Amino acid sequence: MRPAAPLFVEPVTLAADPRVTRRAARSLGRADRHALVLWLAAHIGVLIYMLLVEPDGGNVFERLTPWDAENFIAIAEHGYDGPPGMPDPERLTAFFPGMPLLLRVLDPFFADLRVAIVLVSFVAGAVAVVALCRLSEAARPGSGPWTVLAFLLSPFAVFLYAGYSEALFLAFALPAWLLARQGRWTGAALCAAGASLVRISGLFLAFALIVEFAIGRYGLRHPAGRRRVALLAVPVLPIFGYLGYQWWRTGDMLAWKHAEEVFWGRTAVWPWEALGNTWERSLTEPVLAASYRQEICAAAVLAALTVALLVRRRWAESAYIAPQAAAFLTLSSFYLSVGRASLLWWPLWIAIGAAGASRPWLYALCLAVTAPIMAVNVGSFTTGAWVG
């Protein structure tokens, strides 16, 4: 009997021949096509479910663009000062400019930017699932579609279909990681810079790329490694550029962080305080009780994932995940958007995909838990309830 493969598979260095790598990148393999079919099927399924949950619930694009999407559109149309009469435009500084800039470029082609932002997520998500599939296939051949399916049925997958920034971030971040593993550091740095323009999470990606460069086969150990060191600064340039812009505009270089503190309660506390505050909210706010408990579960998964990666000595992935654990578990007075951020933890989805390839029963058990939660969250989000 063939022994079961480890759940957290070891990273694999991808093909070194640049001609082979570029040719493979331009063509879609069988696993890539499966990933895209799953992506399209997931969108069709979400649309059908939206119509079943609330058949007369109004415009589909309107239901997919509340909250953050409204802020992105406001920035795209009016800048960071917000539309005239907006009571709290200061909160807009919490949102990085990548999505608003893209929407501004698309504005002449769309009468309604709600349509544009949903289409951005659709196209970006397609890029992301192909890159995720390729990373998974490199780690364990045959696991790519399993990984993509688990990703698309994750509890907070609704944010991949809505007008939010997760899909756009992943459309830059996952190719960046893939290119770094192939030793194509110029492309990796540019893609990571795009990710940093979209979300502050790009800072964690930049740190992980530094670690990968330090220990990976195609980093410092490569004959051309020292000539590529300067590329590691590229991913953080958009972050400093945005901080500098807000300093010029408001006189506060950390305006985005202060906006999160004021409007979203992201202030530093001890980890047990954040946990206690979240649990207390789940008891005192019945309407949001399920959402807060999902946040607690997501925080537990994040902590477990961090420990697992460190125990396995997966240093580059740990450099990406561990800072997120520190930020989410200590830099907010209660857990907020931890579940939504789980979409960005690709080592988790690759591990689940590997389980699908080697332990189908464990994979089925995982999806039996996540898929119903995902369906409930799609229904809740698209009918106006906050789910993360």
pLDDT of residue 366 exceeding 50, the answer is: yes
What's the pTM value of the predicted model, to 2 decimals?
0.92
pLDDT of residue 13 exceeding 60, the answer is: no
> Which residues neighbour 356 within 8 Å (Cβ) at sequence distance 6 or greater?
143, 146, 147, 149, 150, 363
Under a CB-based contact definition with an 8 Å cutoff, are residues 21 and 182 in contact? yes
Under a CB-based contact definition with an 8 Å cutoff, are residues 138 and 14 in contact? yes
pLDDT tier for residue 16 given thresholds of 50, 70 and 90? very low
What's the half-sphere exposure (Cβ side, CA atoms, 13 Å) at 286?
0
Buried b (16+ CB within 10 A) or exposed e, 329-348: beebbbbbbbbbbbbbbbbb
Under a CB-based contact definition with an 8 Å cutoff, are residues 61 and 122 in contact? no
3-state secondary structure of 160: helix
Dihedral sign for Cα 209, 214, 216, 222, please.
positive
Under a CB-based contact definition with an 8 Å cutoff, are residues 8 and 312 in contact? yes
The distance in angstroms from the start CA to the end CA of the chain is: 44
Alpha helices in the chain (DSSP H): 18-26, 30-53, 60-63, 68-78, 98-106, 113-139, 144-152, 158-161, 166-181, 185-198, 202-215, 237-250, 255-264, 271-284, 289-311, 315-330, 338-341, 346-358, 360-381
Residue 154, pLDDT score: 96
Angle at 16 between CA 11 and CA 19, to 5 degrees: 135
Under a CB-based contact definition with an 8 Å cutoff, are residues 184 and 18 in contact? yes
pLDDT in tens, 24-80: 556 788 899 999 999 999 999 999 998 888 776 668 899 999 999 999 999 999 999
> Which residues neighbour 53 within 8 Å (Cβ) at sequence distance 6 or greater?
378, 379, 382, 383
- Average pLDDT over the chain reads 90
How many residues in total does the chain contain? 388
